Amino acid sequence: MGQAFVRAHLAYLGAFDCPVALIADEEHIICDRSGAETATASALHDVPLPPGGRSWDWDICPLGEIDRVYAVMHRVRGFVDIKKW
């Protein structure tokens, strides 16, 4: 069901007759004390975004905020205009 929602939302955004920006979390990432990624989960229910855009990591819960051993980060991707996919 999650995949259907993501696909429907992307199709909805793609149907506009004007430029549409998109900023989306792609992955939820758990990092250990050294900063190494120990686990990842798709934030888009494994629906891939097309290539392009700009990607960055966002520290949602830095080390020590909710756990002394692990931190939570989101990998985010932004598109200025999804019409250019």
Each of the 85 residues of the chain gets a pLDDT tens digit; together they read 999 999 999 999 989 999 999 999 999 999 999 999 999 999 999 999 988 899 999 999 999 998 999 999 999 999 999 875 5
3-state helix, strand, coil in the chain (%, to 5): 20, 40, 40
Q: How far apart are CA 10 and CA 71, in angstroms?
A: 29
Query: Residue 46: which domain range?
Result: 2-84
Q: How far apart are CA 24 and CA 6, in angstroms?
A: 11
- Whether the full predicted model's pTM is greater than 0.85, yes or no, is no
Q: Specify the number of domains making up the chain.
A: 1
Tokens representing 26? 């792609």
